[in-house]
Amino acid sequence: MNSGTVHWTRKDLLGLRELSVEEINLVLETADAFKQVGTREVKKVPALQGKTLINLFIEPSTRTRTSFELAAKRLSADIVNISAAASSLTKGETLKDTARVLEANHADIIVLRHSSAGAPQFLASRIASSVINAGDGAHEHPTQGLLDLYTIREKKGTVAGLHVAIIGDILFSRVARSNIFALLKMGARVTLVGPSTLVPREFEQLGVAVSHNLEEVLPTVDVVNLLRIQHERQRKEYFPGLGEYIRLFGLTKARARLLRPDCLIMHPGPINRGVELDSELADGAQSVILDQVTNGLAVRMAVLYLCGGIATR
Ligand code: CP
């Protein structure tokens, strides 16, 4: 598949920072085709028949791991799931050696989630298998950024010209970084909102606005994307306590009244209900959180199809 004259030439998907607008559009258009396949009675296509995909998840995941597994199955690939606890990494084997063992077992595509930023890049430059970043530390989560973009485009018709607020723990968020790169490339305006410790002014250098006043921002936006506090990556206290965080930055029902009626409420999950987002709002009419999950399948099928077609193991 191609978008106009653009052809996919990447064996790996490591981040959205390096993708061109044309490449992003190609992924979204390919995902459109795969979403269509999902409405058929037979939802499987032979696009990756004979290829082997390994889901190597060295950090916990529900959405991303399941979504990649389903995507691979719908593309008729063979799939193996490996978690940190069940791998020889626990016996001291290096990530590179683990990956080379997988490569020697004819893995065409390795989907890697890892707590260290740069781990997918490290592997991609050392093995011939295609490497897809399923989230690396606080660096990037490219398929999450793409499915968020896809969902906004689906619900709003376009991304260009929209104002998107990303709220919460930006400092430790790979989802925030992938969203920022993708949204800016596609012509959206982005405002980051949260405590100054988690949303420092340095982010303005990326071309986004920074605010520490949620109530000021809410009436001006087309989309709010709420992020979880990434306690697992924080090595000190960045705010006095959860009560204080909710009081200043939680999307409560009272604060949601400041939103435009057509403003989308997004969250990559997992949600801490009642912290970053009121539970009723998470399930309410403005929420597209489950649409994000559904679209993740089509977007990941597109990514596997495009990168899997390039891999020359
Ligand atoms: N959004 C996301 O990456 O969720 P998981 O950690 O469940 O994969």
Determine which one of 51, 74, 139, 141 is catalytic: 141
pLDDT on residue 213: 97
Distance CA 66, CA 68 (A): 6
Distance in Å, CA 4 to ligand 1 centroid: 32
pLDDT on residue 311: 59
**Type of residue at 237:** E
Q: Which atom of ligand 1 lies at the shortest distance from residue 59's CA? A: 6
The whole-model pTM stands at 0.94
Distance CA 109, CA 189 (A): 34
Determine which one of 5, 9, 39, 91 is catalytic: 91
The protein residue whose alpha carbon is closest to atom 5 in ligand 1 is 61
Catalytic site includes residue 141? yes
Determine which one of 30, 52, 64, 191 is catalytic: 64
- Phi then psi for residue 61, to 5 deg, are -165, 140
What does DSSP say about strands 109-114 and 78-83: parallel, antiparallel, or unpaired?
unpaired
Pocket probe for ligand 1: among 62, 233, 276, the residue whose CB has the most ligand atoms within 8 Å is: 62
pLDDT on residue 277: 96
Q: What is the 3-state secondary structure (H, E, C) of the chain?
A: CCECCECCCCCCECCCCCCCHHHHHHHHHHHHHHHHHCCCCCCCCCCCCCCEEEEEECCCCCHHHHHHHHHHHHCCCEEEEEECCCCHHHHCCCHHHHHHHHHHCCCCEEEEEECCCCHHHHHHCCCCCEEEEEEECCCECHHHHHHHHHHHHHHHCCCCCCEEEEECCCCCCHHHHHHHHHHHHCCCEEEEECCCCCCCHHHHHHCCEEECCHHHHHHHCCEEEECCCCHHHCCCCCCCCHHHHHHHHCECHHHHCCCCCCCEEECCCCCCECCCECHHHHCCCCECHHHHHHHHHHHHHHHHHHHHCCCCC
Spans in the chain with pLDDT lower than 70: 1-5, 231, 233-236, 311-313
- Phi then psi for residue 7, to 5 deg, are -120, 145
pLDDT on residue 230: 72
The residue among 171, 243, 244 whose CA lies nearest residue 202 is: 171
Catalytic site includes residue 63? yes
Determine which one of 35, 65, 113, 177 is catalytic: 113
Catalytic site includes residue 113? yes
Residue with tokens 């490290």: 122
Distance in Å, CA 268 to ligand 1 centroid: 7
pLDDT on residue 237: 74
Distance in Å, CA 128 to ligand 1 centroid: 26
Q: Which atom of ligand 1 lies at the shortest distance from residue 67's CA? A: 8
Distance in Å, CA 65 to ligand 1 centroid: 8
Ligand 1, CB within 6 Å, residue ranges: 61-64, 135, 141, 144, 268-270
- Tokens for 7? 């052809």
pLDDT on residue 241: 81
